[in-house]
Structure 1
Amino acid sequence: MATTCIERGSSNESVEIVRINGVAVETVSQFEIEIESSAEYNNNANNNDEEINYPEGGFQAYSVVLGSFLGLMATFGTLNSVGAIQTYVATHQLANVKTSTVSWIFSIYIAVSFANCMVVGPLFDVKGALLPMVVGTLMIFGGFMAVANCDTVGQFILALSICVAIGNSLTITPLVGVLSHWFNLKRGRAIGMATIGGSVGGIIVPLMLDRLYVQVGFVWAIRILAFFCLACNGIAILLCRERICSKTTNYEEDEEGTTTKKNELLVSLMQIKDQFDFKSLLDLKYLFCIIGTFFTEISLLSMLTYLATYAIAQGMSESKSYILLTVFNATGVLGRLVPGILSDKFGHFNIMIAMLIGFSLSMLVMWLPFGSNLNVLYAFAAICGVFSSSILSLTPVCLGSITPVQKFGQRYGLLYFFVSLGNLFGIPVSAAIIGEGTVHQYDMFAVFCCIFGVVGTCCWFVSRFFIVGLKLNVRV
């Protein structure tokens, strides 16, 4: 641990800069502190000493934010609205199929959407955003067109759980990762603004599907959703451009000094292979960041998947259950923007943990004891929507603060690979708990979500502990 004392301003205020576990933080005598953020992860694993300048704003940088916003409106918007599809399918096409069997469609869908980020992350670091986003957009569009005509579990798995999900995974990492190329000090604000797209999509999609199911039927409702995703991702492809890629040379020199051109495909494959760095798991702050995200995402996505059917079991109509999802995602707009701005001032990990504490308390204090009261259920959806939004919006910000920018895609992909394994089994476990769908079984499902939310929050605190210990008056 290295410590440097400096004087700042005319008041000769003494400020102590402390580098702990490779992360620079500042401490002063008061809790509310203004300090210089260190978004670079500067430890022995980062051998690149070259200074990287970030625009931190301007027309081109904010056009990237806009593109990311629109792309995430399609990808995270549909992920946040998966309950609107699950509820309809479970009560219509697959009404005679067990809940636990239907759950595999959506658990595989969510898992694959994030698992493939492990491959896409290194690909983005090496080749940029264009290739994965174009392929992903086409797969999302084609997948939803196929979903419109599905009526068996196997068909839904192929179309939604495989095709659409792989398309999601190809677009999510570039859409989030490209922001780290343009922003450093304002990264929390930029990613918060961009991920609002997920909440906006989560507002639009359930309302759109609820109306279209009645007016044009399931087939054309999903087809219109496909065109919606195509339009959003198409604009994102035009606007999202990376600035920093791993450097390489396409030429090699033999013993005689003769220079020959390397096989470009082989060079690219070797670059991508070199990006898979499992040694990063030895970094305990990164490891507990993964574990914390693992538990909180199982809690959040399980709740989003079954919140509508939970409400129906409590006596709410199907159409109003879609509105419940809309309320959840609408308040998430505030929960993505404000914490992102605050995290730039008070520290990414500090705000993340505060939001997760609110997320856990909202489940323990409102949902668990009073979930049978429909008015309280609306209030819970509104409050929990604010706090839970940080799970998706601040995770990449916190990760960026302990990761060199050239490795962000790789570490982001590796994190969500492990998280996806939890999602793969988390939703079927939730379905097994729900069973026949009695009120008591849904109450046990709420307990399951609460426990996982609390455990995930504790793991995030442990991750922070490995950066600065138990110190509270530190911005990190």
Structure 2
Amino acid sequence: MSYNNTASCFNGKKGQIKNGPGEQPSSNILADTGPQLEALMTVIPADEFPDGGLEAWSVVLGAWCSNFVSFGWVACMGVFQAYYQTHKLHHRSPSSIAWILSTESFALFACAPVFGHIFDNYGARALLVGGAAFHVFGLMMVSLSKEYYQILLAQGVCSAVGASAVYWACSNAVGTGWLRRRGLAMGIASSGSSVGGIVGTAAIPALFDKIGFAWTMRAAAFVYLFLLSISITTVKSRLAHKSVKFQALDLVRPLKEKPVLLVAVGCFFFFLGVLLPDNFIPIEAMDAGMSSSRANSLLVIFCAATTIGRIVPGWAGDRFGIFNVTIAFTYLSTLLVFVLWIPAKSDPSRMAFAGLYGFSSALVSAIPTLAAQVCSNIDKLGAYMGAIYIVLSPAILMGQPIVGALLGASGSGNYLYLKIFAGLMMFIGGGVFIFARFAFDGGEKGIWI
């Protein structure tokens, strides 16, 4: 394996370190890269990444299906919040119902370290089969559930853990199979969550009215089983996985690398803010006087815009650098909150915000690509992603009590404090991403990182 190819794998661009096959790296490079140099020598050469072909694109197809049934399902949370409040759990407070959905979102992120470790040791197949079983079984159990705790366990825990397993299996498989077009491949795969959100948001309420809650959940489970069978058939890891003894410190060891730690902290602040508009766009609009049907259409506009927004950052990141694109889209989302959402007074302005913010906030799908960028050993990509999401995932659970406090402080029907908080958290996250970029760059990799 040539040093030039090894360096190409780490930097994502061939030829940035100019040593030939028989030359030794210069001492200044040794000094600048520090502990990363040893990892450089163990990662896979750039010419061994498929970066295309039938098998690599088949993995992307399977990952698209996994995104449809995982984050596409979570994108329908607003539908279930409204249904549970008015029907199945009408005797419960909205905040207690929200805990079901918050737990579901948290499980998707918080399981990343465990499933990343399993992927690094055993590959994707076990996660896909086990995750599919848990996800489908959980949905079937929701159809039979009558009590709050039953729905919490079935939808918030069982189904969510299964969805997390299939998502991380596929995300890691795509990340380890692409290099120069990794952002595009992962962006296309993640667009499945947007399509899943559009279909679910439109179809599930209609099915509730036509065939009832129980059969709607069963129908969703059967559709997801079909899509998951595609994922199981097409997704495979190209790495030679080796089982190693599990140690708890392995879950956080990647955080010892400064760029990884800064990316994780940036993601924590970013996720504290970025998801709030997603959840409150239609509710805020209805409280401002928009009809319920038009307010629900805001979710469809939002999800449709995220379909494009999940692909464009990855495509742009391959050309201009995923750090640069992450920072730009973070501040674009911040700007839209302060300039468009806070002063929005009319239906058209809220629709414009839903579309534009859906596009910019879809950056959340590029976080795995960013994790792959700072991963100094692609064989351990699952561990690196898991470490970042250990830091990130508490932000998902913290959002619920913070929102309650902000809405209580600003008064009924007033969302100003919530909007300011969302914009401020994303602004701070963008600042940390800038520090992470320079910690990763070290002045050696140029401007396109």
TM-score range, shorter chain: 0.7 to 0.9
1:43 matched to 2:37? The reply is yes
Q: Which residue of 2 aligns with 1:283?
A: 257
State the Cα distance separating 1:21 from its structure 2 match: 5.8
- Please give the secondary structure, in 2, of the residue aligned with 1:83: helix
* Residue aligning to 1:198: 193
Is 1:378 paired with 2:351? yes
Match in the other structure for 1:323: 297
How many Å apart are 1:80 and its aligned residue? 2.0
Aligned ranges for residues 238-257 of structure 1 at < 5 Å? 238-247=233-242
Contact 2:374 2:440 in 1 (8 A): no
Aligned mates of 2:29, 2:353 — CA distance in 1? 40
Q: CA deviation at 1:275?
A: 8.0
Of the three residues 204, 211, 221, the one matched with 2:206 is: 211
**Alpha-carbon separation, structure 2, partners of 1:352 and 1:158:** 35
Deviation at 1:165, TM superposition (A): 1.2
- Distance in structure 1 (CA, Å) of the matches to 2:45 and 2:427: 39
Cα distance change on mapping 1:415 and 1:6 into 2, 3 Å: closer
Cα distance, 1:465 vs structure 2 = 2.1
Q: Any conservation in 2 of the 1:210–1:322 contact (CA below 8 Å)? A: no
The aligned counterpart of 1:398 is 370
1:431 corresponds to: 404
TM-score in terms of structure 1 length: 0.82
* Residue type of the alignment partner of 2:337: M
Query: Which structure carries more relative contact order (alpha carbon 8 Å, separation 6+)?
Result: 1
Do 1:99 and 1:435's aligned partners in 2 also have CA atoms closer than 8 Å?
no
Structure 2 match to 1:29: none
Cα drift, residue 314 of structure 1: 2.0
CA deviation profile, 1:63-115 (whole Å, cap 9, x unmatched): 11111111111111012221221222123323332232222212111111111
The answer to whether the aligner puts 1:419 opposite 2:387 as a matched pair is no
SS of equivalent to 1:242: coil
Aligned residue among 417, 438, 442 for 1:444: 417
Distance 1:109 1:428, change over 3 A: farther
Give the alignment's Cα RMSD to 1 decimal.
Answer: 2.8
Q: Hey, what's the Cα distance between the residues in 2 that align with 1:321 and 1:151?
A: 29
Deviation, 1:366, is: 0.8
Is contact 1:82–1:304 with CA below 8 Å preserved after alignment? no
* Separation in 1, partners of 2:90, 2:209: 18
The alignment partner of 1:412 has SS state of: helix
Q: Partners of 2:434 and 2:85 in 1: how far apart?
A: 38
Q: Does 1:459 align with 2:439?
A: no
Partner of 1:34: none
1:407 to 369, 380, 393: 380
Contact 2:16 2:445 (C-alpha < 8 Å) held by counterparts: no
Matches within 5 A, 1:46-445: 48=42, 51=45, 53-247=48-242, 268=243, 270-273=244-247, 276-370=250-344, 372-392=345-365, 394-403=366-375, 404-435=377-408, 440-445=413-418
Post-superposition offset of 1:5: 8.2
SS in structure 2 opposite 1:376? helix
For residues 347-386 of structure 1, give each alpha carbon's deviation from its aligned partner in whole angstroms, at most 9, with x where no partner exists: 111111111111111111111121x422211110100011
Whether the 8 Å CA contact 1:106–1:427 is kept in 2: the answer is no
| Alpha carbons of structure 1 residues 230 and 435: separation in structure 2 relative to 1, 3 Å | farther
How far did residue 232 of structure 1 move?
A: 1.5
Q: Deviations over 1:15-59 (max 9, x none)?
A: xx9899649xxxxxxxxxxxxxxxxx9434566266361111111
Give ranges in structure 1 of 5+ residues lacking alignment.
Answer: 8-16, 24-40, 248-267
Distance 2:145 2:235 in 1: 33
Q: 1:414, CA displacement in angstroms?
A: 1.9
CA contact (8 A) 1:122 1:409 kept: yes
Structure 2 residues not aligned, in runs of 5+: 1-14, 20-27
Whole-Å separation in 1 of the counterparts to 2:310 and 2:108: 21
Deviations 1:257-293 (A, max 9, x none): xxxxxxxxxxx4x434388252321222111111111
Normalization by structure 2: what TM-score? Answer: 0.87
CA distance in 2, matches of 1:4, 1:133: 37
Q: Comparing both structures, which one devotes a greater share of its residues to helix?
A: 2
Is the CA contact (8 Å cut-off) linking 2:251 and 2:386 kept in structure 1?
no
CA distance change for structure 1 residues 241 and 311 in 2, over 3 Å: closer, same or farther?
same
Aligned-pair identity (%): 28
Q: 1:242 to 1:153 in 2, by over 3 A?
A: same
Find the aligned partners of 1:149 and 1:328 in 2 and give their Cα distance: 31
Aligned residues: 425
SS of corresponding position for 2:415: helix
